Chains A and B, each alone.
Chain A
Amino acid sequence: MKALKIIILILFASVLIYAASDLPYRGDPDNLMHAEESITGTTVVGSYVIQEAYNDAKTPNIVTVILGDYRSIDTFGEQVVVFTAGLITILILRNRRRVV
């Protein structure tokens, strides 16, 4: 059982290192995800946001504009997730009825 786990770990590591060697160079500004236009001709979101965030919301911090404006519904859903996590702690730990 332990040998199987070690084999799984080594396989996992080797597959990931093999896959990581094919990734684009880190920090290269010519990467596809940093381009202004994707290979299919549409606008890349990250570059569009850098250029237009200040005109859209007059806010210098681009991350704040994405978080609060472009992806605001996503942030709302995440806030609901955090809120639900808080409620779950009440339900689990403050349950006075003994189950044992």
Chain B
Amino acid sequence: MLDFFLGHYAYWFVVILLCVGLYGILFKKNLVKKTIGLAIFQVSVVLYFVSIASKWDATVPVRDANIPVEQVANYLNPLPHTLMLTAIVVGVATLGVAFTLLMAIYNRYGTLDEQELLEEIQ
């Protein structure tokens, strides 16, 4: 049972973080808060990918001359780290675009509240 808990608690924390992000997207009325919820959602996916890359008793994926490379269990899996590095940068860029769009909306309608925006548009 303890083994099961130690092997899975990281996933459950990721699920909690996903739910926090989804809560922000679903319940908040302000568009900026919705965007923050999206960012939290994205960060939780990044954390999940980083957590599945781990191995017990392994070191970071930088080759050390004293640790043999031939035994794969000595190094963390570097592939999820690379994929998440790209995902983080794209996330920052898309977050910038999202906030730019919000600024354009605010310049035009003068509000960021979802309900007021719907009334303004009609």
Contact = CB atoms under 8 A, between A and B. Distances in A.
A adjacent to B, CB under 8 Å: yes
A1 B103 CA distance: 29
Contacts, number: 134
B77 A46 contact: yes
A16 interface: yes
A48 B10 CA distance: 27
B79 A89 contact: no
Q: Is the interface of B mostly helix, strand, loop or mixed?
A: helix
Q: Is the interface of A mostly helix, strand, loop or mixed?
A: helix
A94 to B, nearest CB: 10
B1 interface: no
A21 interface: yes
Interface string B48-66: 0001101111100111100
Interface in A24-58: 24-29, 33-34, 36, 45-47, 49-51, 53-54
Given A16-B15, A62-B61, A89 B78 contact: no
Nearest to A17: B15
B82 A93 contact: no
Given A46-B78, A50-B61, A63-B81, A99 B11 contact: no
B15 A20 contact: yes
Nearest to A93: B100
Contacts of B77: 33-34, 46, 50
Contact of A29 (B7, B56, B62): B56
B21 to A, nearest CB: 11
Interface string A57-69: 0001111001100
B94 A85 contact: yes
B89 A78 contact: yes
Given A5-B26, A51-B70, A51-B72, A27 B55 contact: yes
Interface of B: 3-4, 6-8, 10-12, 14-16, 18-19, 22-23, 26-27, 51-52, 54-58, 61-64, 69-70, 72-73, 75, 77-79, 81-82, 85-86, 89-90, 93-94, 96-97, 100-101, 103-104, 108
